[in-house]
Structure 1
Amino acid sequence: MHVTLPDGKQLDLPQGATALDAARAIGPRLAGDALAATANGDLVDLMSPLPDGASITLITKKNPAEAAPLFRHSLGHVMSQAVGEFYRAKGYGPQDIKRGVGPSIENGWYQDFDLPEPLREEDLPEIERIMREIIGRGLDFSRREVSKDEALAQFPHDPYKAELIRELPDDEAITLYQQGDYVDLCRGPHFPNTGKLPAAFKLMSTSGAYWRGNEKNPILQRIYGVAFATGKELDGYLERLEEARRRDHRKLGRELELFTIDPMVGKGLPLWLPNGTVLREELSRFLKEQQFQRGYQGVVTPNIGNLDLFRTSGHYPYYAESQFNPIDVDDEQYMLKPMNCPFHVRIYASKPRSYRDLPVRLAEFGTVYRYEMSGELNGLTRVRGFTQDDGHIFARPDQLKKEFLDVLDLTVFVLKTFGMEDVRFRVGVRDPESDKYVGSPENWDTAERGIMEAVEEVGLPYAVEPGDAAFYGPKLDFIVKDVLGREWQLGTIQVDYNLPERFDISYVGEDGQDHRPVMIHRAPFGSLERFVGILIEHYGGDFPLWLAPRQVVVIPIADRHIPYAETLASEFKAAGMRAEVDDSANRMNAKVRTAELSKIPVMLIVGDQEEARREVSVRERTPEGHKERKGVDFAGLLAELGERVRTRD
């Protein structure tokens, strides 16, 4: 066999050769420095056989970050070995420790355990110490292919491993990896030796996790770790993590009284408190204004629908596992709506349409319901009931590109308004090997080509993601990076030739014949709940003035200044702004502190001098810190702040 090196040179090797064999063929020094390799662009370890004819690149200790998924996965195995040694010191045997899955993830890894007694958070430093000791032993990782019977015999005491092994296809290679006396079922890949693993790692936390994410299964103990190629990267990550904790939308949502999730109401069903309702309504008003200017018409649809509606659309049974069970009503079945689009299709079909009527643009802030497993629920970002800023455009084929570009422009404008300008674009297309998609291949080809041509026309770079399409059509997703460098999938635009076909909707063309419209599904925010959760963290609760639930607080220095303060607050309200007076018995400094903790953007302090001159002293929160102005004319300030709110500056 042969492989091709980055410089184009071919290297002849024995059949079944590994990346380590390739490194040795080049030279002993490279073999000693090698950590991993890529084969045809995929990360592989030094122990696995290379495919014949592969293009390979060797990764060495000079660039260890390129092998991050490998060293993180290997550290997960080291941690698993360390947990075994920790419990061995307590008198337990190998049969007492059972292990679930343990993959590498972004920035680190996790491993699930069924342990004889729970591991405490305060035990993690000791596990970490044992890990560093194992690394110091310089243990080689070895790889071994085994039969299904051999694999089952390796883990006679472990029902989780046995379940995974029995589900593996008979023709799939089963591999075991070993370092020292620790053996695990694993596809790999791994580092060659524990001594080459980076020291920049830390065990972060432990929590419960249902086996395979199913709440009907046992709860295992999950341990999370993070790892980086250098200590500097680890320190930077830990600093960002601390900042993320400070910005956590669940923490800020409680402190700023934005939302609550009440177990008596139900898991994943947020209750919007008055402050959060203001935030939600401001977002809705902002988008409704933009939609009105672009020719959308508002509609409202019910929260349940006849099951036949969703059978026709394909949402039932295609997404049956993520939907709530049907409800029996008289002699019919209904379902909590998982999507708004079938309702909008029926609104379109409610009267005859001419080619002159198109495009028809319908929009709704419609609440939908999805069954999410309890373990996956997370504040506002993963819920069971949420509101989509759904819009559906019914267009002639010749109008498709223009309508798509208009939606693209709207979505980019929305994200820029909130300072979310670090965006990448992902085109989700069908997986030709999957049978989950509905509609003809010709319609799919047309829709996929149309999205890519539109994106290319405006010069946006994009990546194609096979298998990421909706079941009825391809889509363009907006992947946004927030101030902490985390990526979120927010807005989406989908092109759909199939729902019009399934619902048999049409318009009368210039030729007097019936023609099929094309649908565009779009949601600039996506889920309003999820968008608000992300927005809280993006701003750290310091919302811009126009969006802040509490915009202005007037702080009287003494009780005699309260009437003047109330007069100013009334004038703000008359101008359409949210203002309040802190007439508590606290001293002025305490009032300022309370307003700071509540993240109110503008504080106005008034005393004798301000009242006599109809002025205010202004203390304003800004991204750069606090900005203070004394002796500010109130009328001028009212006009200034009103303009900033009006323009959403």
Structure 2
Amino acid sequence: MAEISVSIAGGESKQFSEGIAAADAIKDLVSNKQRKKIIAVRAEDNIVDLTTPLTTDVELQPIEIGSPESLEILRHSAAHIMALAVKELYGDGVKVAIGPAIADGFYYDFDREKAFTPDEFEAIESKMAELAEARIPFVRKVVAKQAAVDFFQKAGEEYKLELLGEIESDTVSLYEHSSFTDLCRGPHIPDSSWLKVFKLLRVAGSYWRGDETRPMLTRIYGTAFFDQKELKKYLTQLEEAKKRDHRKLGKELGLFTIQDQIGPGLILWQPRGALLRKLIEDYWKDEHYKNGYQLLYTPHIARQDLWKTSGHLDFYGENMYSAMEIDEVKYQLKPMNCPFHIGVFNSTKHSYREFPIRWCELGTVYRYERTGALHGLMRVRGFTQDDAHIFCRPDQLEEEIFNIIDLNLHILKTFGFDQYDVYLSTRPEKYVGSDEHWELSTSALKHALEKKGLAYEVDPGEGVFYGPKIDIKIKDQLGRSWQCSTIQVDFNLPDRFEMSYTGEDGAEHQPIMIHRALMGSLERFIGVLIEHYAGAFPIWMAPEQARILNITDDQAEYCEQLFGQLRLAGVRIEKDLRNEKLNYKIREAQLMKIPYMLIIGDREKEEGLVTVRLRNGKNLPPMRPEEFIEHIQKECAQGICPE
């Protein structure tokens, strides 16, 4: 039998018989202590099971417990173990669909006449624990596609058959785990005993393939960890996340509402929410003006031909709403603002001396989202992008990207986000434009990130069809990531719309277009803000900064005078002069997360003072109204201009 050379990254190689399992090779290459931590290996850029036979010279990189890859493998395996438990408990009355690992756990979709409920979790978890103790191995088999079709046809697993029908390869990989066989690429844990710490969390309805015309399945969510402390920490975080849920707080704080009569995914901003949004918009506009941007306003609809020229009908048509006919011409709601900004550009001739041109717009767009995907402010059908487009010459591209990053991080910091992950997304398989343009734009994005000193990950093939992009995912108080900011370089639209400017040489040249959104959408960003601050906004963006509370009716006149004085000074203030006990009114103000309560009794009335109570229950010393105004103004300035 032939021999192969196997090594661990950075170590010496050894000779083994061809076909040796990765686990057996590792025994001779690492210490016993390290070997117990290895859950899988990376070989030639692929992560594979420890049971994988090695057939060529290879350098192995161990995947050890505690790494992100190891957690994903554990959770994917937990989904299979849960599916086996469900099949053993409920028999042939359950059909299986898909069961991947996700960011914070795993799920599996089941087709059962009676939907699963959390009441059944105890039985399923108990069976999973029993299976884990049995040390059942995960066995990978590569079989002919037709053999897999025959197997799942006999088993009556119609969802697996549909997935098989989309696979072009002649062979597929299956994983056997006791009596459960799944269509799966893997990798998996060596056996079920590695699953020790897990918890089933919730159920949800899920249409097969996300299609509302297909069967409704039951999705069971769970999570798994290697350490009990990590699970406890995660469950505590889940409880905190429930308290911070922007849908719950949005209702309690009177910020927004969604009504079936209006339509799902369409937001009605209530007065307090509308004021919060105004504060954010005003700040956004002011910062853009300081940074050389000009404001645009554009329509909500356009001729369908515009979307044909832009390519949106070809590449994005399924997310656009149906056309409407006006004067026998088809129009459609806009899913993007870009073609309108190009229209402004093409309305006049331009010289190279004008560049860069920076235009911004808080533009409302409309995109179709399936009902099951809608989620409060986070996933809607009508939303406002904090959009901007920069038109520049090739020699200005890198500097413009750098400036965008600078403004982006400044604005995020002002809103309290200084933790984030940065990704550079490169050319996808399906793209438009020349390789030269892709290389130029990718290089410019990369150099701008390096010039800024930002660590980033390359996300291969995840660029948009017209160009590469930078994505910034911010982290909230609970450490959760949210996709907000994006910077995209585009040579495609300038070409499609025949954009040009007169160069220094007197000839016509095509500008480069940069798309960018810093918050992404106002709706989603405000949803993130609500959860980040648990509704207790910093003073500069609090829709109600202070509330006047009288102790008895004797102070009502002074309270009215005080209310007028503070409102004229720009303080966002309300008053509660109801004939209720003071403690009751304080409690209500605290539940509304109001930063300051101004308590007015006889002493305050007689001496022309205010007693200031904070929302955390502490008090400031009594002060004159003018001092309170100065205090608020100073705190606002510090918030808008963070150190």
Q: TM-score range by the shorter chain?
A: over 0.9
Shift of 1:34: 5.1
Tell me if the contact between 1:107 and 1:228 (Cα under 8 Å) persists in the aligned partners: no
Specify the alignment match of 2:458 in structure 1.
Answer: 464
In the alignment, the residues of structure 1 paired with residue 139 and residue 552 of structure 2 have an alpha-carbon distance, to the nearest angstrom, of 76
| 1:176 partner letter | L
Specify the alignment match of 1:224 in structure 2.
Answer: 221
TM-score (norm 1): 0.93
* Aligned residue pair count: 634
Q: What does 1:76-91 align with in structure 2 at a 5 Å threshold? A: 76-87=79-90
Tell me if the contact between 2:110 and 2:218 (Cα under 8 Å) persists in the aligned partners: yes
Tell me if the contact between 1:258 and 1:277 (Cα under 8 Å) persists in the aligned partners: yes
Distance verdict in 2 for CA 1:395–1:596, change over 3 Å: same
In the alignment, the residues of structure 1 paired with residue 134 and residue 413 of structure 2 have an alpha-carbon distance, to the nearest angstrom, of 52
Distance verdict in 2 for CA 1:635–1:440, change over 3 Å: same
In the alignment, the residues of structure 1 paired with residue 246 and residue 372 of structure 2 have an alpha-carbon distance, to the nearest angstrom, of 18
Percent identity (aligned): 44
Q: What does 1:312-323 align with in structure 2 at a 5 Å threshold? A: 312-323=309-320
Specify the alignment match of 1:486 in structure 2.
Answer: 480
| 2:12 partner letter | K
Tell me if the contact between 1:148 and 1:166 (Cα under 8 Å) persists in the aligned partners: no
In the alignment, the residues of structure 1 paired with residue 638 and residue 603 of structure 2 have an alpha-carbon distance, to the nearest angstrom, of 32
Question: Match for 2:302 among 291, 301, 305?
Answer: 305
Specify the alignment match of 1:158 in structure 2.
Answer: 157
Tell me if the contact between 1:429 and 1:469 (Cα under 8 Å) persists in the aligned partners: yes
Specify the alignment match of 2:611 in structure 1.
Answer: 617
Shift of 1:66: 5.6
Q: What does 1:337-486 align with in structure 2 at a 5 Å threshold? A: 337-431=334-428, 434-435=429-430, 437-486=431-480
Tell me if the contact between 1:393 and 1:519 (Cα under 8 Å) persists in the aligned partners: yes
Asked whether 1:72 is paired with 2:71, we answer no
Asked whether 1:190 is paired with 2:213, we answer no
| 2:186 partner letter | G
Specify the alignment match of 1:516 in structure 2.
Answer: 510
Runs of 4+ that moved beyond 4 A:
24-34, 62-66
| 1:641 partner letter | I
Tell me if the contact between 2:251 and 2:257 (Cα under 8 Å) persists in the aligned partners: yes
Distance verdict in 2 for CA 1:170–1:518, change over 3 Å: closer
In the alignment, the residues of structure 2 paired with residue 356 and residue 527 of structure 1 have an alpha-carbon distance, to the nearest angstrom, of 32
Q: Write the deviation string for residues 70-103 of structure 1: whole angstroms up to 9, x where unpaired.
A: 221222111111112222xxxxx42x22000011
Distance verdict in 2 for CA 1:452–1:58, change over 3 Å: closer
Specify the alignment match of 1:100 in structure 2.
Answer: 97
| 1:182 partner letter | F
Specify the alignment match of 2:166 in structure 1.
Answer: 167
Question: Match for 1:48 among 29, 34, 52?
Answer: 52
Q: Write the deviation string for residues 266-293 of structure 1: whole angstroms up to 9, x where unpaired.
A: 1211111111111111111001001111
Distance verdict in 2 for CA 1:249–1:481, change over 3 Å: same
Distance verdict in 2 for CA 1:196–1:475, change over 3 Å: closer
Shift of 1:138: 2.0
Tell me if the contact between 2:8 and 2:29 (Cα under 8 Å) persists in the aligned partners: no
The unaligned stretches of length 5 or more in structure 1 are 88-92
Shift of 1:146: 2.1
Q: What does 1:521-560 align with in structure 2 at a 5 Å threshold? A: 521-560=515-554
RMSD: 2.0
SS across alignment from 1:308: helix
Shift of 1:309: 1.3
Shift of 1:646: 4.7
Q: Write the deviation string for residues 229-264 of structure 1: whole angstroms up to 9, x where unpaired.
A: 100000000111111111111111111111111112
Tell me if the contact between 2:398 and 2:444 (Cα under 8 Å) persists in the aligned partners: yes
In the alignment, the residues of structure 2 paired with residue 29 and residue 610 of structure 1 have an alpha-carbon distance, to the nearest angstrom, of 75
Asked whether 1:117 is paired with 2:118, we answer no
Distance verdict in 2 for CA 1:637–1:452, change over 3 Å: same
Moved more, 497-506 or 395-404: 395-404
Question: Match for 2:626 among 628, 635, 643?
Answer: 635
In the alignment, the residues of structure 2 paired with residue 346 and residue 64 of structure 1 have an alpha-carbon distance, to the nearest angstrom, of 49
Specify the alignment match of 1:137 in structure 2.
Answer: 134
In the alignment, the residues of structure 2 paired with residue 455 and residue 140 of structure 1 have an alpha-carbon distance, to the nearest angstrom, of 45
Tell me if the contact between 1:258 and 1:273 (Cα under 8 Å) persists in the aligned partners: yes
TM-score (norm 2): 0.94
SS across alignment from 1:319: helix
Specify the alignment match of 1:90 in structure 2.
Answer: none
SS across alignment from 2:635: helix
Tell me if the contact between 2:41 and 2:63 (Cα under 8 Å) persists in the aligned partners: yes
Q: Write the deviation string for residues 592-636 of structure 1: whole angstroms up to 9, x where unpaired.
A: 000000111111101000111111111123xxx443123222211
In the alignment, the residues of structure 1 paired with residue 37 and residue 348 of structure 2 have an alpha-carbon distance, to the nearest angstrom, of 72
In the alignment, the residues of structure 2 paired with residue 399 and residue 74 of structure 1 have an alpha-carbon distance, to the nearest angstrom, of 49
Specify the alignment match of 2:246 in structure 1.
Answer: 249
Moved more, 527-536 or 1-10: 1-10
In the alignment, the residues of structure 1 paired with residue 112 and residue 14 of structure 2 have an alpha-carbon distance, to the nearest angstrom, of 48
Tell me if the contact between 1:200 and 1:230 (Cα under 8 Å) persists in the aligned partners: yes
Shift of 1:331: 3.0
Asked whether 1:332 is paired with 2:329, we answer yes
SS across alignment from 2:352: coil
Tell me if the contact between 2:255 and 2:269 (Cα under 8 Å) persists in the aligned partners: yes
The unaligned stretches of length 5 or more in structure 2 are none
SS across alignment from 1:521: strand
Shift of 1:473: 2.0
Question: Match for 2:594 among 596, 600, 607?
Answer: 600
Moved more, 350-359 or 365-374: 350-359
In the alignment, the residues of structure 2 paired with residue 513 and residue 136 of structure 1 have an alpha-carbon distance, to the nearest angstrom, of 76
SS across alignment from 2:618: strand
Tell me if the contact between 2:300 and 2:334 (Cα under 8 Å) persists in the aligned partners: yes
Distance verdict in 2 for CA 1:32–1:589, change over 3 Å: closer
Asked whether 1:18 is paired with 2:21, we answer yes
Shift of 1:517: 1.8
SS across alignment from 1:388: strand
SS across alignment from 1:226: strand
Distance verdict in 2 for CA 1:371–1:482, change over 3 Å: same
Shift of 1:152: 2.5
Tell me if the contact between 1:43 and 1:67 (Cα under 8 Å) persists in the aligned partners: no
